[in-house]
A and B are shown apart, each in its own frame.
Chain A
Amino acid sequence: MEAAAAGSQQPLGSSTTCGPRVSELTEAGNLAGVQHIILVLSGKGGVGKSTISTELALALRHAGKKCGRPASLQVGILDVDLCGPSIPRMLRAQGRAVHQCDGGWVPVYVDQEQSICLMSVGFLLENPDEAVVWRGPKKNALIKQFVSDVAWGQLDYLVVDTPPGTSDEHMATVDALRPYGPLGALVVTTPQAVSVGDVRRELTFCRKTGLRVLGVVENMSGFICPHCAALCPWTQSSLRA
């Protein structure tokens, strides 16, 4: 991350990423201007994937200024949780409209400096309480559109927030991103054994799909009681098991 912040240009599909390189002879897709793609995964729901995706995007944006660059890094967030899109609310971008340009859909910029952009199915719903009741093929099709038909432009990082599990959305996302050589996956868990169990399955998914695991984040490790300042563990951590 430090090297990236210093402005080094890592070629797409470099040896540190998975999947085939993008041929210079093929038509560059809408992700051709994205330097690094990070997927945020977890087998378990509710561990904080969307929160961590949001925080990671904000931290990456600030990393540019910290390393002496004149401007923040350009960061995009792709929310492929079609049934439960949380990122618009987390970035206070609910109700924003998606516009079109020659290159496709324009992602929604969530800050005045236009350094963080976001695409989510949440922007495409007429009613925010409307349920997206789709089977796999329709979800796959929208995820492909999010990858190929959104004009992401020049981004230093694209953070991809995913729903829990190892199913259609995950396979569609990995397949659609494979030509662009994702940097890898950040796997999020909480200390409980049921969460760690699902994370083990997610790590198996990463191995089977050739997705490099950048590391595991244990979220909600403990809670500091505001009354007595005691550090209360959620449960006994199972991460080392």
Chain B
Amino acid sequence: MEEVPQGCPGTGSAQAGRGASCQGCPNQRLCASGAGAAPDPAIEEIKEKLKTVKHKILVLSGKGGVGKSTFSAHLAHGLAEDENTQVALLDIDICGPSIPKMMGLEGEQVHQSGSGWSPVFLEDNLGVMSVGFLLSSPDDAVIWRGPKKNGMIKQFLRDVDWGEVDYLIVDTPPGTSDEHLSAVQYLSAAHVDGAVIITTPQEVSLQDVRKEISFCHKVKLPIIGVVENMSVFVCPKCKKESQIFPPTTGGAEVLCQDLKIPLLGKVPLDPHIAGAKVDARTQTGRDEACAPAWVGALGQEDPTVCPWEEAGKAQQTRGRCRGKRTGWNPHLVRVVTKDSLF
């Protein structure tokens, strides 16, 4: 992928191909002809490719470090607890790909087949794709400008052979920039169910989340709801709760009330979750507890029922979502109680 000039006005700009900074750019003629402003044919290609994917969910947050990747990893793991549910996890955080480490898949490589790139499978029904698998060393920095990142995201959506998938979860970097615009643009014809927005309780996080919500409205991306992470800290010694990130302006609960967006749930800050790798292969009790806590936060009681459809019908009781009560997953019963959710 060619690097673009530093002063590139953008391919969609009226100055595309005509500005002073366009001189010498290999794409200058293309932009000046107006072809750069035409819809990208990849959008239709991606629509076709993702026809086998039933539900697509973006995990967003304006703020960094609130637990997007952790949430995405645990949600994927929790949904894949049912062997009949095919789950795919796509990490489009190009500069800071955390998913391979969180899924215990560091060092794995992507293989190519006739039908495209093969995702790395953690389980038979849980496939993962990330730029982290394409780096020769975990210390390699991906120092790319926007257009190159966009190209990578296009390849992830168009060239990865996901197969028949029930849920595609897309983990994103913080902010409202190239990666988010590209993901929304390339998925525009493929019907995205919506976005789950992660936040922590403090106002400095909420102010970025309001921007993210504004972004979703601007690009017409439905919002499934908000998850408040790190709501309280549970001391591993005395088991009492403390607020590390005080909700001085009411936390996600007030934000959701003001903006009329569902609060899907609140999850405590658990050092075990912060440090645990979600690795189904280890099958430790600690790892098993983590994933259900996340999925339980969404009231995902029956994996065959799309939680996003239920979110609209869910009633909230003290921050806990209750959806349709059919066929509790036995793992979830243990943790989805009034004590675990707030």
Q: What residues of chain A lie closer than 8 Å to B130, measured between beta carbons?
A: none
A193 and B100 alpha carbons, distance in the complex (Å): 12
User: How far is the CB of B245 from the nearest CB of chain A, in Å?
Assistant: 10
Q: Which of A14-22, A67-75, A103-111, A158-166 lies on the face that meets chain B? A: A158-166
Given A84-B175, A90-B204, A201-B141: A232 and B65 within 8 A (CB)? no
Q: What residues of chain A lie closer than 8 Å to B18, measured between beta carbons?
A: none
Query: Does B233 lie within 8 Å of A223, measured CB to CB?
Result: yes
Within 8 A of B (CB), among A93-111: none
Q: Which of A128, A164, A192 is the one whose CB lies under 8 Å from B174?
A: A164
User: How far is the CB of B284 from the nearest CB of chain A, in Å?
Assistant: 15
Q: Which of B80-88, B119-127, B145-153, B331-339 lies on the face that meets chain A? A: B145-153
Query: Does B10 lie within 8 Å of A135, measured CB to CB?
Result: yes
Does B107 belong to the interface (CB within 8 Å)?
Answer: no
Q: What residues of chain A lie closer than 8 Å to B214, measured between beta carbons?
A: 129-131
Query: Does B238 lie within 8 Å of A201, measured CB to CB?
Result: no
- B contacts with A: majority SS: loop
Query: Does B95 lie within 8 Å of A197, measured CB to CB?
Result: no
Within 8 A of B (CB), among A113-150: 128-141
Does A5 belong to the interface (CB within 8 Å)?
Answer: no
Does A43 belong to the interface (CB within 8 Å)?
Answer: yes
Q: What residues of chain B lie closer than 8 Å to A133, measured between beta carbons?
A: 176-177, 180-181, 215, 218-219
User: How far is the CB of B209 from the nearest CB of chain A, in Å?
Assistant: 9
Contact with B along A170-208 (1 / 0, CB 8 A): 111001000000000000001011100110111111001
Q: What residues of chain A lie closer than 8 Å to B176, measured between beta carbons?
A: 83, 131-133
Given A164-B96, A198-B96: A129 and B207 within 8 A (CB)? yes
**Contact-residue size bin, chain A (C-beta under 8 Å from the other chain):** 35 or more
Query: Does B271 lie within 8 Å of A45, measured CB to CB?
Result: no
Q: Which of B69, B141, B146 is the one whose CB lies under 8 Å from A202?
A: B141
Q: What residues of chain B lie closer than 8 Å to A192, measured between beta carbons?
A: 274-275
Query: Does B211 lie within 8 Å of A129, measured CB to CB?
Result: yes
Given A45-B63, A46-B66, A89-B204: A136 and B237 within 8 A (CB)? no
Given A200-B139, A235-B275: A230 and B235 within 8 A (CB)? yes
Given A44-B65, A129-B211: A165 and B173 within 8 A (CB)? yes
A208 and B244 alpha carbons, distance in the complex (Å): 36
Query: Does A167 lie within 8 Å of B240, measured CB to CB?
Result: no
Query: Does B6 lie within 8 Å of A140, measured CB to CB?
Result: yes
Within 8 A of A (CB), among B196-223: 203-204, 207-208, 210-215, 218-219
User: How far is the CB of B239 from the nearest CB of chain A, in Å?
Assistant: 9
Does B242 belong to the interface (CB within 8 Å)?
Answer: yes
User: How far is the CB of B249 from the nearest CB of chain A, in Å?
Assistant: 11
**Whose C-beta in chain B lies nearest to the C-beta of A235?**
B275
Query: Does A89 lie within 8 Å of B96, measured CB to CB?
Result: no
Does B178 belong to the interface (CB within 8 Å)?
Answer: yes
Query: Does B138 lie within 8 Å of A225, measured CB to CB?
Result: no
What residues make up the interface of A, taking CB atoms closer than 8 Å to B? 43-47, 50, 83-84, 86, 89-90, 128-141, 163-168, 170-172, 175, 190, 192-194, 197-198, 200-205, 208-209, 223, 225-228, 230, 232-236
In the assembled complex, 24 residue pairs joining A and B whose CB atoms fall closer than 8 Å, in A order, are A46-B65, A46-B66, A83-B174, A89-B204, A131-B176, A133-B219, A135-B10, A135-B146, A139-B177, A164-B173, A166-B143, A190-B65, A194-B101, A197-B98, A200-B138, A201-B95, A204-B141, A205-B141, A208-B141, A223-B242, A225-B238, A232-B233, A232-B235, A234-B271
